[in-house]
Amino acid sequence: MLKEKKSEIIKNLAKELGFFLCGISKAEFMQQEAMHLEKWLALNYQGEMSYMANHYDKRTDPTLLVPGAKSVISLAYNYYHEKAQQDKDAPQLSMYAYGKDYHKVVRKKLNQLFTAIKAQFGDIYGRVFVDSAPVMERDWAKRSGLGWVGKNTLLIHPKKGSYFFLAEIILDLELQYDHAISDYCGTCTRCIDACPTDAISPQGYFMDGSKCISYLTIELKNRIPEEFQDKMNNWVFGCDICQQVCPWNKFAAPHTEADFLPVDGLLSMSKEEWHDISQPVFDTLFEGSAVKRAKYEGLRRNLEFLKKDH
């Protein structure tokens, strides 16, 4: 079977399972991306995310993750929705965190896709990844033509925006490869101007992860530095500011994934209910949610930090 036909079959299977973007690139050492990562790490922009410096070789060479790998299939899964919290003063969660943990939801779809690919093409070897190993998913997605890396360092698709999760299948099947697309950020600086902690460099395309509100509310395990007082914009888990102001997200359309719908009662919580949240309420409300990553103690720390802003 021709490589073109194999690629077409895989993309159709991905679409049937709900992935709204699928691109394929050659599994090879990522020289340019490796240099960018090296520079980013040298500036200590990873903060406490020490794991970003781990497995450097595997992070930049997929054949070390999957011996014999020939292709990287990059996939995108939509999580955009238009539902909003009723109390405008209530603490905010990043849009992706209102429903079930995407790692589990997308991984299930990914496993189904890989099973379907093996059913089509026989004995092939590969692995699936959903933000679960040293894989530079954004860069693979860029190589596969799923979008360009914007000034906010997120992947942006010209007809879909940026509210989507990325996932990969790295496998030893040779396929037809897609090409990267052009950068359409132009002279726009909305994301740079809007970031309250100045995490994005003045020129864009470079993010100081240790200043990002998502990092401060999720990855940072110690106290939030006082320098960020009055700059959190009421975010208690994650942050969407650089996506909210991005003009390309006017093309974002609501998802159709039931597991990503906000949990009952979450959007109706008042500011007071948020600040009074107890461990049992937290456990019930965020059962199976990505918010569990922060743990109750982490969420309480974030809420206490927000209290100081008022």
User: What pLDDT is attached to residue 36?
Assistant: 77
* Whole-angstrom distance, CA of residue 55 vs CA of residue 133: 9
- pTM here? 0.92
Same domain, 213 and 165: no
Same domain, 167 and 207: no
Same domain, 140 and 66: yes
Mean pLDDT of 28-57: 69
Of 171, 201, 221, which residue constitutes the final position of a domain? 171
In a domain, 34, yes or no: yes
% residues pLDDT > 70 (the chain): 94
Query: Is 131 noted as a catalytic residue in this protein?
Result: yes
Same domain, 24 and 158: yes
Same domain, 142 and 41: yes
DSSP state of 90: S
Q: What is the mean pLDDT of the chain?
A: 92
In a domain, 23, yes or no: yes
Report the number of distinct structural domains present in the chain: 2
Same domain, 121 and 207: no
In a domain, 225, yes or no: yes
In a domain, 217, yes or no: yes
Same domain, 54 and 140: yes
User: What pLDDT is attached to residue 242?
Assistant: 98
In a domain, 87, yes or no: no
Among residues 200, 193, 201, which one has the least CA distance to residue 215?
Answer: 200
Of 136, 171, 206, which residue constitutes the final position of a domain? 171
Same domain, 146 and 60: yes
Mean pLDDT of 82-104: 93
Same domain, 23 and 147: yes
Residues near 232 by beta carbon (within 8 Å), at least 6 away in sequence:
196, 213, 216, 217, 224, 305, 306, 309
pLDDT tens-digit profile of 254-307? 999 999 998 888 999 999 999 999 999 999 999 999 999 999 999 999 999 998
User: What pLDDT is attached to residue 258?
Assistant: 94
User: What pLDDT is attached to residue 1?
Assistant: 78
* Whole-angstrom distance, CA of residue 198 vs CA of residue 208: 8
Name, of 32-46, 131-145, 230-244, the range with top average pLDDT. Answer: 230-244
* Whole-angstrom distance, CA of residue 19 vs CA of residue 303: 35
pLDDT tens-digit profile of 126-170? 999 998 777 889 999 999 999 999 999 999 999 999 999 999 999
In a domain, 128, yes or no: yes
pLDDT > 80? residue 48: no
Q: Please give the residue range of the domain that contains residue 48.
A: 3-80+100-171
Which residue of the set 61, 131, 172, 183 is catalytic? Answer: 131
